[in-house]
Chains A and B, each alone.
Chain A
Amino acid sequence: MKIKAQISMVLNLDKCIGCHTCSVTCKNTWTNRPGAEYMWFNNVETKPGVGYPKGWEDEDHYRGGWHLNQKGHLELVAGSKLNKIALGKIFYNPDMPELDDYYEPWTYDYQTLFSPEKKHQPVARAKSQLTGQPMDLKWGPNWDDDLAGSSETMQDDPNIKKIQTEIKTNFEDAFMMYLPRLCEHCLNAPCVSSCPSGAMYKRDEDGIVLVDQEKCRGWRFCMTGCPYKKVYFNWKTNKAEKCTFCYPRIEEGLPTVCSETCVGRIRYIGVILYDADKVRSAAEEPDEQKLYERQLEVFLDPNDPEVVAAAQEAGIHDDMIEAAQNSPIYKMAVEEKIAFPLHPEYRTMPMVWYVPPLSPIMNYFEGKDSIHNPEMIFPAIDEMRIPVDYLASLLTGGNTTVVKAALYKLAMMRLYMRAKTAGKDFDESKLDRVNLTADRATALYRLLAIAKYQDRFVIPKSHKEYAEDTFSEQGTVGYESCDGCGLAGDRQDRFGKKQPQKTSEEIYAESFYGGIWRD
């Protein structure tokens, strides 16, 4: 047994309202720099939809993640080491997405709005942030937000092609849900495994996956290796960048920016202890539908005295063990089994999990005499507006049984709490059928619906005071020291002439005015 601790996240999709606050605060923090304009370490997609980059779930096209080779062993879909050398993929990476698969970043020509008075009303035209040329906008971030224009693009959602249920696009029968996405900080990270320079790594102490900007040589295999397409290439620094899980905040025991600012309080952060020796065999499970359950087997029970002893021996700090014992992630993923990994069939062992959404069914159902007849939830969920097999193709590799069990449980918990608050009778034996007790249903309700800050975020401090050389830590946080990475680094033109830009302080003073952020 080789115990490691992993910081992980659960997102309760039932409560996501698709407001994009997480994306915007993340962008303000990490990717508002030249070269990084098109990057969204966190983005929120409307599902069904093609997503960002377009059709990222189509691994026949992008060839990310792992598959099993003929001997049944893990191999990168993008090709084995030998294959990459033999086909000269280092000269040209055939599977890499292009900028247009994301979108070309633009700004508007605001200057014309302030030009001298003219006969016609001035218009601020869209101008590419890459080339400065005027551009026709054909695609952008969240182009299909809230199913906008989805009659054109929705059928390209790879999940729709996979499932049996016919998806209807007419207004009356349409459904949608939001899927906030960030780096999964996988246990079996294919980006780390693809990096030829060894610049990508998993932090031993908390499993956060990072790119060492000093070591990155820009070979771009991480971009193709990641099936979630969450590693980006900065066209200015020519290096890879990705979600950092806001590690400077995590080290201080603070939640990530996306979690902190989530207005729906849908995000949970906690520690999971896992057995690193089991990861490989779990990821080599031949049956895709079982991969979710195999991943659960990799996680260790933090309350088991043997596990605690082994963790202490492995040098895991007591604070980390205590956090694991109080982890909301462990509760939702392992104890209650209401959270699921995103696309476990990529065999990456992702560590950002999702509670499937229930809302449309409950709205349809709550008007009826539901409290007295809770059995109704079972047929209702089977005919839910968001088809269960759509959710299963997102979250469990097609295993509908476990998704249904989670939805039954969530629906039953709601009915129970509704009866309790409304002072109605509720036959508690009904809770048995979904493997709940009255106490656990209440606890689950507190965790999901009340969602107190300290229940959502159980993050141990990293104890940097034990780091051997604090001097070496200086300046390692953020991108400031790297040329062209700073918030507003000087943009050079082709002849090396510096074009002065606003400093970080100026940008800050401009947008943070009187205590509120302005756009």
Chain B
Amino acid sequence: MAHPVQWFIWTVYPYLMLGSFIFGTIIRFAFYPASVTAKSSELLEKRRLMRGSIFFHVGIIMVFFGHIVGIFIPKVWTDALGIPNEVYHMFALVAGGLGGLAALIGMLILTYRRFSDVRVHMTSTLSDLIVNVSLLIIIILGLSATFIVSATQPEFNYRENLSIWGRQLFYFRPNYLLMLNVPLLFKAHVFFGLAIFGFFPYTRLVHAFALPIRYIKRRYLVYRKRPQL
């Protein structure tokens, strides 16, 4: 093994983080379901939350779906459909860029708010602060990986190595050699992103799993009956 560190980071570390993600989620919902909340601080500060939260959430949802497409749709499929690489790339840059920018603006506002607003800051836990800062870092890394690398190394196409490695993770045969020549910014983004997955279920981020979809079809009034003999 020529690159033990690289091997560890791209074959073992992802499974540690994803394992922690799954394990934590199960534990959280099975044993601490009452602790899952949106952890809103809207009661304490409202104006900056409005801008920050809407920008961030809309942006991050766009970015999320962008990542799904980028990782799970192989290049051969789009090639078969006759979509030229340049068109795909432009589309990814524009849509991903817009989503990423929205998320970045939102997160900047939210982070500033969390550290500068006395009420919000004093009622934050360490975990809230870590989540805030790491989301800011991952968004900045993601945006700079996309834009800086496409400017400086236009010949680099993540769909020929990074995405393939990403898919390989899901059938448990990741080839770390694919990651060796990936630019550092991309590597950092992936590394840090996996870390966020790792601590996701132990923090406030877990509220993403509490999305109340059932409300859409539910009747308005809810009665609960105590079981009787």
Contact = CB atoms under 8 A, between A and B. Distances in A.
Contact of A492 (B119, B125, B224): B125
Interface in A53-97: 81, 85, 88, 90-94, 96-97
A468 B56 CA distance: 47
Contact of B227 (A132, A201, A468, A492): A468
Nearest to B218: A198
Q: Is the interface of A mostly helix, strand, loop or mixed?
A: loop
B38 A233 contact: no
**Range, interface on chain A:** 35 or more
Contacts of A422: none
A198 B215 contact: yes
Interface in A484-499: 492, 494-496
Contact of B210 (A92, A217, A466): A217
B58 interface: yes
A193 interface: yes
B42 A88 contact: no
Contacts of A192: 220-222
Interface stretch (B2-10, B46-54, B68-76): B46-54
A105 to B, nearest CB: 11
A97 B44 CA distance: 10
B88 to A, nearest CB: 29
Nearest to B57: A91
B152 interface: no
A235 B118 contact: no
A92 B53 contact: yes
B34 A88 contact: no
B137 to A, nearest CB: 20
Contacts of B223: 201-204
Contacts of A510: none
Contact of A188 (B46, B129, B221): B221
Nearest to B214: A198
**Range, interface on chain B:** 35 or more
B37 A189 contact: no
A216 B228 contact: no
Nearest to B122: A131
Contacts of A478: none
A277 interface: no
A218 B224 CA distance: 20
A99 interface: yes
A131 B220 contact: no
B87 interface: no
A203 B229 CA distance: 17
B129 A494 contact: yes
Interface in B130-150: none
A122 B39 CA distance: 39
Given A93-B42, A216-B37, A466-B229, A198 B222 contact: yes
Given A88-B54, A204-B225, A235 B123 contact: yes
Contacts of A483: 35
Nearest to A467: B226
Contact of A214 (B34, B44, B218, B220): B34
B34 A218 contact: no
B33 interface: yes
**Quick one: which of B38, B43, B123 has the most chain A CB within 10 A?**
B43
B42 A217 contact: no
Nearest to B44: A99
Contacts of A494: 122, 124-126, 129
Interface string A237-259: 11100000000000000000000
Contacts of B228: 315, 466-468
A482 B212 contact: no
A213 interface: yes
B58 A88 contact: yes
A92 B220 contact: no
Contacts of A469: 227
B40 interface: yes
B67 interface: no
Contact of A235 (B43, B46, B214, B221): B43
A92 B37 contact: no
A196 interface: yes
B38 A217 contact: yes
A425 interface: no
B119 A99 contact: yes
A445 to B, nearest CB: 38
Given A96-B42, A196-B215, A203-B226, 16 more contacts: A81-B215, A91-B53, A91-B57, A92-B42, A92-B54, A96-B46, A131-B123, A192-B220, A202-B223, A204-B226, A217-B36, A217-B38, A218-B37, A235-B43, A492-B125, A496-B126
Nearest 4 CB-CB pairings of A with B:
A196-B212, A193-B220, A218-B37, A468-B227
